[in-house]
Amino acid sequence: MKYLYALALALLCCASAGAKEATLLADDPVVEQRLIAISEELRCLVCQNESLAGSRADLAQDLRRELRGLIKQGKTDAEIKEFLVSRYGDFVLYRPPVKPTTWLLWAGPFGLMAVGVVALFVYLRRRNAAITSEVLTDEERQRVQALLQEGEK
Amino acid sequence: MKAKFLIPLGLFVVLVGFLAVGLGLDPREVPSPLVNKPAPLFKLTQLEQPELQFAPEDLKGKVWLFNVWASWCVACRQEHPVLMEFARTKTIPVIGLDYKDQRKDAMGVLRRSGNPYDLTAFDGDGRVGIDYGVYGVPESYLIDKAGVIRYKHIGPISAEDLQKKIIPLINELNKS
């Protein structure tokens, strides 16, 4: 019974959230589809861990309104992103562009991996060298022989 | 060979260094691409005299401070006495942008706690704010004689910001 109640409550929550979302829909579903596709790639400036599509911040609503206008004017996705980048900087893009200031960001992980691979090789080489340089004395050789024979019996 | 045990310690110190720097950074301070670009043009009515308009071109040839504020903005109250003090020195024109606000509320604030602005432009729907890349009020822009944004300050201006950053920059811009 308790579970049923919880489920009903959850459904109610979703229903009301859906209703709220629906009011944001513009008259044109095609525009809204594109708006969502574009704004999911963009960061909301106010709640920085949310996308522009998902944020309920006031500014995000205003920006969605601006973007809706731009879409209706027939701007391309690149032009729309440029509209925001020229105002708020690359920070709004979840995928930062590759340029001199972001080279470290893009290449850094690969650089670190290269360092790791080189370090691994050097370490393995050294270890191999250490193993092969081990030379048995005559006494040790005889003991090995004896142990092996014992094992065969 | 002896110093090998120092390697993890060294790495740890580097890591702590990164964390210490990270702690000191404010993630809310997003560098503005508008610095060193011409201030976006607009034409808005004035807050107190809706029949009059204001456009940034009106101040061409002057260095001026453009301060974005609102009656609903709590941090603006913290900044307000600093702006009042600065306006009293009459160093440069201080222009306000009343962002996403109601005229009545904004005028109430100015009446109650004083008006540091030479005039305030009224941006009720926040469109001009978007053009200026406003995302958290208060924000301030220092605009030079040619109408180029030279500095953007995000968050309330403190007396120290004014003395150490803004006033020296004003002096420099006034020379050119």
Is the pLDDT score of A20 beyond 80? no
Same domain membership, residue A15 and residue A84: yes
Closest approach of B23 to chain A, Cα-based (Å): 17
Same domain membership, residue A92 and residue A17: yes
At residue A101, the pLDDT reads 83
Same domain membership, residue A87 and residue A14: yes
Mean pLDDT value of segment B110-139: 93
- Asked which of A11-25, B57-71, B135-149 is least confident by mean pLDDT, the reply is A11-25
CATH fold for domain B38-175:
Glutaredoxin (3.40.30)
Torsion sign across C-alpha atoms A68, A73, A79, A84: negative
**Is the preceding peptide bond at B138 cis, omega within 30 degrees of 0?**
yes
Same domain membership, residue A121 and residue A91: no
User: How many domains does chain A contain in total?
Assistant: 2
Same domain membership, residue A109 and residue A35: no
Of the residues A75, A96, A117, the one at which a domain ends: A96
Same domain membership, residue A79 and residue A121: no
- Asked which of A24-38, B82-96, B143-157 is least confident by mean pLDDT, the reply is A24-38
Is the pLDDT score of B13 beyond 80? yes
Contacts of A85 in chain B (CB under 8 A): 33
Same domain membership, residue A110 and residue A91: no
Same domain membership, residue A43 and residue A14: yes
Contacts of A88 in chain B (CB under 8 A): 30, 32-33, 133, 135
Same domain membership, residue A82 and residue A134: no
Maximum separation of any 2 CA atoms in chain B, in Å: 81
Of the residues A96, A113, A131, the one at which a domain ends: A96
Test B30 with A63 for CB contact under 8 angstroms. Answer: no
Q: What percent of chain A has pLDDT over 70?
A: 80
At residue A137, the pLDDT reads 85
Chain B touched by A93 (CB under 8 Å): no
Test A66 with B130 for CB contact under 8 angstroms. Answer: yes
Q: Which residues contact B154 (CB under 8 A, 6 or more apart)?
A: B28, B29, B30, B32, B136, B139
Same domain membership, residue A116 and residue A138: yes
Same domain membership, residue A111 and residue A127: yes
Write down the domain spans for chain B. 38-175
Residue-wise pLDDT for B56-96, tens only, equals: 999 999 999 999 999 999 999 999 999 999 999 999 999 99
Same domain membership, residue A63 and residue A18: yes
Please report the ipTM that was assigned to this predicted complex. Answer: 0.77
**Tokens describing residue A37:** 């596709």
pTM for this one? 0.74
Domain region containing A137: 102-152
Other Cβ atoms closer than 10 A to B72: 14
